[in-house]
Amino acid sequence: MDIHEYQAKEILRDFGVKVPNGGLAYSPEQAAYRAREMGGNKWIIKAQVHAGGRGKAGGVKVCSNDNEIIEAASSMLGRKLVTHQTGPEGKGIYRLYVEAGVPIDREIYLGFVLDRTTQRIMIVASSEGGMEIEEISANRPESIVRASIDPAVGLVEFQAREIAFQLGIEPSLTQQMVRTLMGCFNAFQDLDATMVEINPLVVTTDHQVIALDAKMTFDDNALFRHPKISELRDKSQEDPRESNAADRGLSYVGLDGNIGCIVNGAGLAMATMDTIKLSGGEPANFLDIGGGATPERVSKAFRLVRSDKKVEAILVNIFAGINRCDWVAEGVVQALKDDPINIPVIVRLSGTNVEEGQRILAKSGLPIIRAATLKEAADRAVSAWKADKPTITKLKAISVFLLMKKQKSLSKESLEGWQNFIPKKPA
């Protein structure tokens, strides 16, 4: 789970990291009031969105008086901010952070991430921070400082001092840098974060080390241990499909393809998406319904996938162990009967109670394409999608009907079900 900059700064401040004075605003007038409240002669107006690259996209503006603040806030609030991280759809700006300006002497990049290779927390830092950090990393990799933290002892002060020396921090500022590093590490570890990033971390002309920006990401699976962190979730910044899935206890990641996937188990979901790609299709989502999926849970997953307007075929791939194929079959049938659709549905069942599951599908009389293996299911999903794509509503059913007839995959019950989708000849 991601959080906003102002939320990350509040957290880091509690762990001893120094941050500038700032306040939240939901209107241009409130933004101006926040600036007057802080005092000074320069303020930064920042769009609060879950994305980097805000400065280049016009989401960060420096202001010197009330009129400039109101103008900047008015230009941001209510519009979509498009950056290289948001994609062309952008993210809505519904709140602003007004921050007091600080006299910057130099900028530093500082990040804490999980390194899966070493299975440790990794500190990544650069003496050249700021908006161009990606370019700096690519063009001048020697400027990047990396340090791995031993999980048995955590980050210790001598290691933090060593990082400060490598970054060229003045001896008089070393202790401030150590305090910043220790604070970030403690926040990362204590709150089950997966990333803490400060870019830039600045050294000011009056000799202070201050976090000018901050990003934090948390492990979704650990949020039950941190209810206060969980409350920081902002659904307006999330993919609505993923937000709806999370509210229903489903693991969902939206993609850009056309073939929706309903699968049990993360590994099988990945294999399913790979096989769809190998068969010439594009998956529309990653959806893991998990173990012990009831018919109601399967039906919810079905409705979720169908809510994506880009989905033009649905592939259900279940390898039942803890799950039961008959429960899954009942869920699919229930979903299709409650809300019939005119796109191909392909179901592959294997494992516990597979015979009963197949019987339920066949007996339903619904136009369901069945497959015995993952490869067969992916091939049929892609074939049905391609046959279905250029047609109109009634002709869609005919295309898939003919395909299934050719492949000899129609049961008597399914044949009867298809008749409801095929237009009758005029009398």
Residue 399 has pLDDT above 90, yes or no: no
Stated pTM of the model: 0.73
The answer to whether 26 is a known catalytic residue is no
Can you give the pLDDT at residue 110?
Answer: 94
Q: Please, which pLDDT band fits residue 143 given cuts at 50, 70 and 90?
A: confident
d(CA 281, CA 278): 7
If you average pLDDT over residues 225-231, what whole number do you get? 94
- Determine which of 10-19, 158-167, 182-191, 377-386 has the lowest per-residue pLDDT on average: 377-386
Share of the chain above pLDDT 70, in %: 86
> Are 22 and 100 within 8 A, CB to CB?
yes
Check whether domain 240-418 has CATH 3.40.50.261, yes or no: yes
pLDDT in tens, 256-310: 889 999 888 888 899 999 999 999 999 998 888 876 667 777 888 888 888 888 8
Quote the pLDDT of residue 251.
77
Among residues 131, 64, 69, the alpha carbon closest in space to that of 98 is found at 69
Confidence of residue 137 (pLDDT cuts 50, 70, 90): low
Query: For position 323, what pLDDT does the model report?
Result: 75
Mean pLDDT, all residues of the chain: 85
| pLDDT for residue 395 is more than 50 | no
pLDDT of residue 394: 43
pLDDT at residue 375 is higher than 60: yes
- In this predicted structure, the answer to whether residue 423 has a pLDDT above a threshold of 50 is no
Predicted pLDDT of residue 45: 96
What number is the average pLDDT over the span 199-220? 94
Average pLDDT over residues 19-23: 95
262-276, 356-370, 404-418: lowest mean pLDDT where?
Answer: 404-418
Q: Which of 5, 99, 197, 242 is labelled catalytic? A: 197
Q: Where are the domains of the chain?
A: 12-18+104-238, 21-101, 240-418
Q: What's the pLDDT tens digit per position in 51-104?
A: 888 888 889 999 999 999 999 999 999 999 988 887 787 889 999 999 999 999
Which position has the higher pLDDT, 135 or 53? 53
User: Into which CATH architecture does domain 21-101 fall?
Assistant: 2-Layer Sandwich (3.30)
Higher pLDDT, 402 or 108: 108
More confident residue, 133 or 397: 133
What is the average pLDDT across 32-40? 93
User: Cβ contacts of residue 13 below 8 Å, gap of 6+?
Assistant: 19
Cα dihedral 181→187→190→193 (10° resolution): -110
CATH code, 12-18+104-238: 3.30.470.20
pLDDT at 393: 41
Is residue 109 among the annotated active site residues?
yes
